[in-house]
Amino acid sequence: MSSQASNSVATWRQLLRNFHLSGQGIDAAVPERALCPTTLAEHPKLPELEAHFPLCLQPDGKITALRDLVQTLAHASIVTSAFHIAMGNQTCAALDDVAPAAIASLPELNPADVSSLKKMLPEGSMLIAFHAAAVPLLHAATIIAERTPYRAKFREEVVHAIARLRELLALDQSHAPDSVTAESIDASLGSGIRGFFDSSILAGAFRRPANPLKRMEPARRERCQATLRVLEEGLNDFSTHPAFWLFCSAGTPPGIEELGGAARQSADSFTSAIALCESALAGLGQILRALRVARLEMESAYDPAIHDEMLQRFDWQTAESDELRALPAIIVIESAADVARASLTSFGRVLRSGSPIQILVATTGLSQSNLDEFQPDIAYLAISHRESFVLSSSLAEPSHLLTGLARMAKTLRPAVAVVSVPSEEIEASDPWLETVLLVHTRTVPLYSYDPDAGSKWSERFELAVGLQPACELTPVHAAAVCAGLRHHFRIVPAEAWHSEQLELPKYLEAYQDRPPRAIPFLWIRKDASGHERAAFTRTLANFCIDRQRAWALFRELTEAGKPQPEPAVSPEAARQEGANDAFQRVLALLNQ
């Protein structure tokens, strides 16, 4: 090595050390675009986009991947691609609209195939693409499918109670001595019979016999009439309910109205949701109270001495869960950033309220902010409230997501789903790969916390552990494929390679309590063949370690079955208005 060369190596070493610690410098070596780590290239099988998307949402609420629907066709993948392309940039589209264009673009299909294809496509379905706005649609569809039978049953009960009350009042009316008139007789005899009788004589005769039946006490009659009115009004209102209510502070996602939802924009969506929930529940409570009175009256078992007071104390919280499910779902959707920035307090209030509100929080990709600033782990926060349902999932893993959403739809507690969705940044080169890798590198752990599943942590918490390809993928890999984070990397030319540089696996092994004294790098693909080293920042390395420890923590908790997560936040603190306090503690734990 010439001294110039060794000088060069020394310079590089210095520059790299600077870069590693500060993230600045060697701007020339910044990768031009997202990197392709060699492990990834060699890695056998990450899931493909078109194996899972577009999703087909059928009118009955069933959601299947389009590829699965057409899998018996010889050209299943080509067909799926055609539909994917025909959808263009839309988040969602009606299948019937997209199908003609898609089929037209497949000249190689013969008519027999076309007709079998048409048979496989369920009528009236909606196609949903891999897009951030897909999550509210999937969630809404799931919850509608879950709640519709309860709504129908409840409605039927109310209709029935109304009919019976009307009958009761009509019977009572018939006990009155003057209820029999010539007109009532004419009406009841059948058409054309009027000519045979003088109904007033009949009426006179029918009024004569001793009347053994009393009329209801006026108090009871009033009660029945009032209850009937409440039920009828309630039924009217009920019919005007949308399939669900949606609150958001940003714009309404597409497809919401097609599903029957009513969207409301508001600066503080959580508070608005709580307000609507309270009023809807109050309204439901009224109908439920009236329903109970009706049931008692139908058995003639209403006793004012006993029941008046009990019914006064009645409210929606003593209702049966089946009845509560008759109410349309109340959904709030926000991005993680918005929640963190603006509404953490109201978010906490929703979780404490115990009201049946469903919250969807979208986290998009990895960006600089994830690494630099503190980002509260919303899902973890929600778990710390202990009595809310929490789902952490990803749009790149539809089976986990849909299963989780189905369970979320069943609960009447406050429920939070934090879903990793593709970012919409223009720089993002391959949103699918980015999102998939976040899952497979466990940067975004997939889990669910269901308080209804039991009283023990092991019953409530479920971690999806099975998503790991054979080789090691780390959060660094996830960052590597993000074009937006490429400034955390510098390509190290072959001449500057040095033993001070440690490749990632070894670096991670060496990292015990403190970072080792080495420059971590990642092997990346260079052009058609060959590979390069890409060094990266300490920030990124810390991030990687932090995520891996968080995962290990979850893993331990699942296996050990401890009754509580490490109480980062004591219950009292969490309930205080100063939520920021709690967040700092969480940060401290994660960054140790």
Among 63, 70, 127, 157, binds other proteins (CB under 8 A): 157
- Nearest approach, Cβ of 116 to other proteins (angstroms)? 22
CB 485, CB 51: distance < 8 Å: no
- Under the binding rule (CB under 8 A), the answer on residue 301 touching other proteins is yes
Q: Tell whether the torsion through CA atoms of 591, 382, 403 and 70 is positive or negative.
A: negative
Among 265, 318, 399, 580, binds other proteins (CB under 8 A): 318
Query: Rounded to whole angstroms, what are the CA distances from 253 to 60, 134, 265, 296, 347?
Result: 21, 8, 11, 45, 20
Across the beta sheet with 55-57, the strand order is: 63-65, 55-57, 126-128, 92-94
If you ran DSSP here, which 8-state letter would residue 483 be given?
A: G
Among 1, 28, 213, 219, binds other proteins (CB under 8 A): 213
Is the CB of 111 or the CB of 190 nearer to other proteins? 190
- Piece in contact with other proteins (CB under 8 A), picked from 3-11, 129-137, 210-218, 569-577: 210-218
- Piece in contact with other proteins (CB under 8 A), picked from 123-131, 154-162, 335-343, 512-520: 154-162
- Under the binding rule (CB under 8 A), the answer on residue 192 touching other proteins is yes
- Under the binding rule (CB under 8 A), the answer on residue 412 touching other proteins is no
Among 27, 32, 299, 572, binds other proteins (CB under 8 A): 299
- Under the binding rule (CB under 8 A), the answer on residue 193 touching other proteins is yes
- Under the binding rule (CB under 8 A), the answer on residue 279 touching other proteins is no
Residue with tokens 């497979």: 440
Is the CB of 5 or the CB of 306 nearer to other proteins? 306
- Under the binding rule (CB under 8 A), the answer on residue 190 touching other proteins is yes
Is the CB of 323 or the CB of 377 nearer to other proteins? 323
Residues whose CB falls within 8 Å of the CB of residue 304, separated by 6 or more in sequence, listed in order: 219
- Piece in contact with other proteins (CB under 8 A), picked from 181-189, 228-236, 364-372, 519-527: 181-189
Is the CB of 76 or the CB of 189 nearer to other proteins? 189
Among 178, 196, 236, 239, binds other proteins (CB under 8 A): 196
Is the CB of 72 or the CB of 191 nearer to other proteins? 191
193 phi and psi, to 5 degrees?
A: -90, -15
Among 210, 219, 470, 528, binds other proteins (CB under 8 A): 210
If you ran DSSP here, which 8-state letter would residue 296 be given?
A: H
- Nearest approach, Cβ of 182 to other proteins (angstroms)? 10
- Nearest approach, Cβ of 237 to other proteins (angstroms)? 20
- Nearest approach, Cβ of 161 to other proteins (angstroms)? 10
- Nearest approach, Cβ of 169 to other proteins (angstroms)? 11
First CA to last CA distance, the chain: 42
- Under the binding rule (CB under 8 A), the answer on residue 160 touching other proteins is yes
- Under the binding rule (CB under 8 A), the answer on residue 321 touching other proteins is no
If you ran DSSP here, which 8-state letter would residue 29 be given?
A: G
- Under the binding rule (CB under 8 A), the answer on residue 114 touching other proteins is no
H or E segment to which residue 538 belongs? helix 538-560
Across the beta sheet with 261-265, the strand order is: 261-265, 244-248, 329-335, 357-364, 415-421, 389-394, 447-449, 461-463
Which residues, 218 to 277, sit near other proteins by CB under 8 A?
Answer: none
d(CA 264, CA 248): 7
- Under the binding rule (CB under 8 A), the answer on residue 202 touching other proteins is yes
- Nearest approach, Cβ of 295 to other proteins (angstroms)? 6
Q: Within its chain, how far is the Cα of 467 from the centroid?
A: 21
- Nearest approach, Cβ of 235 to other proteins (angstroms)? 13
- Nearest approach, Cβ of 191 to other proteins (angstroms)? 6
- Piece in contact with other proteins (CB under 8 A), picked from 212-220, 235-243, 529-537, 568-576: 212-220
- Nearest approach, Cβ of 319 to other proteins (angstroms)? 9
Residue with tokens 């208005």: 577
- Under the binding rule (CB under 8 A), the answer on residue 152 touching other proteins is no
Is the CB of 194 or the CB of 562 nearer to other proteins? 194
Residue with tokens 């790299």: 16
CB 507, CB 478: distance < 8 Å: no
Q: Look at residue 547 and give its three-state secondary structure.
A: helix
Number of neighbours of residue 488 by Cβ within 10 angstroms: 25
d(CA 580, CA 347): 13
How many residues sit in the footprint of other proteins (CB under 8 A)? Answer: 48
User: Burial letters for 69-96: b for 16+ Cβ neighbours within 10 Å, e otherwise?
Assistant: bbeebeebeebbbbbbebbeebbbbebe
Is the CB of 10 or the CB of 201 nearer to other proteins? 201
- Under the binding rule (CB under 8 A), the answer on residue 317 touching other proteins is no
- Nearest approach, Cβ of 286 to other proteins (angstroms)? 16
Among 58, 199, 355, 435, binds other proteins (CB under 8 A): 199
- Under the binding rule (CB under 8 A), the answer on residue 580 touching other proteins is no
Among 22, 115, 211, 570, binds other proteins (CB under 8 A): 211
Question: Environment class of residue 115 by beta-carbon count within 10 Å: exposed (0-12), middle (13-18) or buried (19+)?
Answer: exposed
- Under the binding rule (CB under 8 A), the answer on residue 212 touching other proteins is yes
Give CA torsion, residues 588, 271, 244, 435, to 10 deg: -30
428 sits in the region (left: phi over 0; alpha: psi -120 to 50; else beta) called beta
Pairing, β 92-94 against β 126-128: antiparallel
Which residues, 161 to 180, sit near other proteins by CB under 8 A?
Answer: 163-164, 167, 170-172, 174-175
Give CA torsion, residues 547, 548, 554, 556, to 10 deg: -160
Contact positions vs other proteins (CB under 8 A): 157, 159-160, 163-164, 167, 170-172, 174-175, 184, 187-193, 195-199, 201-202, 205-206, 208-214, 291-292, 295-296, 299-301, 303, 306-307, 310, 318, 320
